[in-house]
Structure 1
Amino acid sequence: MKLYNREWTRREIEARVGRIEQIGGVQRMRGTEGMEDAVEFIRVRTGAGLSYEVLPSRGMDIGLCEYAGVPICWLSPGGIAHPAYYDAQRTEWLRTAAGGLLMTCGLMNVGSACEEEGRQYGLHGRIHHLPARHVAAAGNWIGDEYEIGVKGTIDETTIFGDHLRLTREIRSSLGENVIRIRDVVENVGFTRAAHMILYHFNFGFPLMDERTIVECPEAAVSSRGHRAAADGWGRWQAPEPDTEEQVFFHRDIRTDSKPIARIVNDRFPLCSGESQSVCVELTWDKSRLPNLVQWKMPGQGIHVLGLEPANCFVEGRAAERAQGTLVMLEPGESKLYELELAVRTRK
């Protein structure tokens, strides 16, 4: 592996440490107070500067994420609340949305709360608040490379209703600042089922400051409602009072099957007091996630940018069906989603 600016064999590394977790690896922890009591955290350290927390209690999403000890993500005011506090009605999702690097939205509704075919669907669906089972977390040597993996399964279902299952695997390699997400969503029920999914990546201070540049793949861009000009998506700003959220839709992405969105901060602050040019790259497969939703909220007390590859937009399940864009899964059918987030430094 490449670590600390040179190549190492497994035995060379093992000769220099008591256990591999001295450098990096995986560790399971549990919250002990407040709304985070009994929430499980799985901390992954890559040894190259990137660390992040996988949340089996919260849909196998990703909470705090840091590079070189400095956060690159945004955390919501409510923290990583236990799913017992979740209220699925209307917009109550906002009370316990964790923020963090990744909040998955879906699997049966994304965006606005709505009623469809006699059922109520709350804002952004249930998956972000459902705990996983069959959770496994381990690090293993593969030759001279040390691979870290976290895997779990989440079911969203109800009696007399649909049954969708998400199996998520998150992987990183020691010595690399990369997170690889591999999701399989399967209709394990026996009737045709609607399926919506949106990957709500959240980026915050100090990665996001007045000098930060946001780059998205070439696409047709429009804004939701009348709150923002369609050309305002690439600009960032200092926190301002009374600033409203803005949502941009990036449609018809004009790239190959792997679009890349970038956040570039040429003066990312390090704990040493120095700064470094940092680029965060998000890559996904547009054949399964053809749309990119961008959430821009630079107001005081929030100050977050969301980049959200999706198989839908955020008007809700009923609107997607009315537009003829609602994705359906046949009984036994599954969809594979693969995304990658990398933190790269620039000289």
Structure 2
Amino acid sequence: MKLYGRTWTRRELEARVGHLGQIGGIRRMTLTEGREAGTDIIRVRTGAGLAFDVVPSNGLDISLAEFLGASMAWKSPNGDANPAFYEPEGTGWLRTASGGLLMTCGLAHVGSPSEDEHGANGLHGRAHHTPALHIAICEQWSGDEVEWSISGVIEESSIFGCKLRLYRSISGRLGENRITIKDRVENFGFQPAAHMMLYHFNFGFPLLDKHTEIDLPPAQSTSRDEHARLADCLRWQDPDPRCRESVYYHMLDQEALKSDHMAEASLFNPAFPAGTATKPVRVTLRWSADTLPILVQWRMPGAGEHVLGLEPSNCLVEGREAETRRGGAAGFATGRIRCVCSRDGRYRIKIKK
């Protein structure tokens, strides 16, 4: 294992600690106060500076995320609210959405509230507020490396309606500041089922400041909002309470991608806090462009709501009715299908020092 600037064998490390948790690892806990009471948390520490919370109560999404003790993600004022408080109608999603590094939007609906022949759908669907089933946690030595993983199942089902099942695995190694997310969505019903999917990554202070550089993959870009300027896609700014949110659609240029069809976006902060000093840090997001061909960008440099969303997706965020009219990339699955998040079934987040 590479750790603290050198390579160690298993026995060398075991000789120096009484418990592996002294270095890093996984710990499960339950929150006890307010609207967060009863929310399950799985805390992961890589031992190399990255720490984050996986939330089984909220669809195995990722809430708090820190590097070198400083936050990378924006947290909403709702905290990690228990999904029992979820209001599915209209924009009620906003009252309990946690923010954090990842909120999964889907499985059958993404975007603005809408209604079609399949029924009414609230903002961004139900996945983020659906507790996961069959949670499995593994932390074990493989030679001189410690590999960890968290897995579970999220189901969205209805009598006479859609029957979708998401299999999710989140994994990595101690000593590496990398998170790998592997998702597989299955239609376990006997009728076609709409499938819309968006990975709502939320970056915030202090990773974001006016010096942060934003790099996006090659794409044809448009703004949803008349007041939004495309030039703002690549810059950040200090909080301004007068700011309005802006949404941009980046339709990925498939021919410009590498042979593995993986797209990449990154944030670079030249002076990220590291204790009493600063150091340059780049956060890189990689995903499969063949299954998630759109990058939705949510720019909100307001006060309190001070967040940049980078959101790989198979659809826009106008709602299912509008997506159907557009003839977009959202899948309408027939029978028993597998919809994976990349050619090798992997969806990667990579954090580099």
Which band: TM-score by shorter chain?
Answer: over 0.9
In the TM superposition, residue 225 of structure 1 has moved relative to its aligned partner by 2.2
Does the CA-based 8 Å contact 2:136-2:151 persist in structure 1?
yes
In the TM superposition, residue 289 of structure 1 has moved relative to its aligned partner by 0.5
Tell me the residue number matched to 2:322: 319
Which of 317, 333, 340 aligns to 1:336? It is 340
> Alignment partner of 2:197: what SS?
strand
Are 1:309 and 2:317 matched, yes or no? no
Tell me the residue number matched to 2:109: 109
Tell me the residue number matched to 1:61: 61
Tell me the residue number matched to 1:184: 184
Pick which of 68-77 and 320-329 moved more: 320-329
Does the CA-based 8 Å contact 2:252-2:289 persist in structure 1?
no
In the TM superposition, residue 282 of structure 1 has moved relative to its aligned partner by 0.1
Alignment of 1:71-82 (within 5 A): 71-82=71-82
In the TM superposition, residue 15 of structure 1 has moved relative to its aligned partner by 1.2
Does the CA-based 8 Å contact 2:267-2:284 persist in structure 1?
yes
Q: How many pairs were matched up?
A: 344
Question: Which amino acid in structure 2 is aligned with residue 336 of structure 1?
Answer: V
Are 1:204 and 2:198 matched, yes or no? no
Are 1:137 and 2:137 matched, yes or no? yes
- Deviation readout 1:67-89 (Å, 9 max, x if unpaired): 01111001001111000000000
Change (3 A) 1:174 1:70: same
Which of 259, 284, 287 aligns to 2:287? It is 284
TM-score by length of 2: 0.96
Return the alpha-carbon distance in structure 1 between the equivalents of residues 56 and 28 of structure 2. 10
CA RMSD of aligned residues (A): 0.9
Are 1:266 and 2:270 matched, yes or no? yes
Alignment of 1:121-160 (within 5 A): 121-160=121-160
Return the alpha-carbon distance in structure 2 between the equivalents of residues 131 and 227 of structure 1. 38
- The runs of at least 4 aligned residues of structure 1 exceeding 6 Å deviation read none
Question: Which amino acid in structure 2 is aligned with residue 169 of structure 1?
Answer: S
Pick which of 88-97 and 247-256 moved more: 247-256
Q: Percent identity?
A: 50
- Deviation readout 1:223-269 (Å, 9 max, x if unpaired): 00202012220010000121100111001333221111000000001
- Deviation readout 1:98-126 (Å, 9 max, x if unpaired): 00000000001110110010510000000
Question: Which amino acid in structure 1 is aligned with residue 26 of structure 2?
Answer: V
Tell me the residue number matched to 2:301: 298
Structure 1 unaligned blocks of 5 or more: none
Are 1:34 and 2:29 matched, yes or no? no
Return the alpha-carbon distance in structure 2 between the equivalents of residues 19 and 332 of structure 1. 45
Question: Which amino acid in structure 1 is aligned with residue 340 of structure 2?
Answer: L
Question: Which amino acid in structure 1 is aligned with residue 16 of structure 2?
Answer: R
Does the CA-based 8 Å contact 2:112-2:122 persist in structure 1?
yes
> Alignment partner of 1:232: what SS?
helix
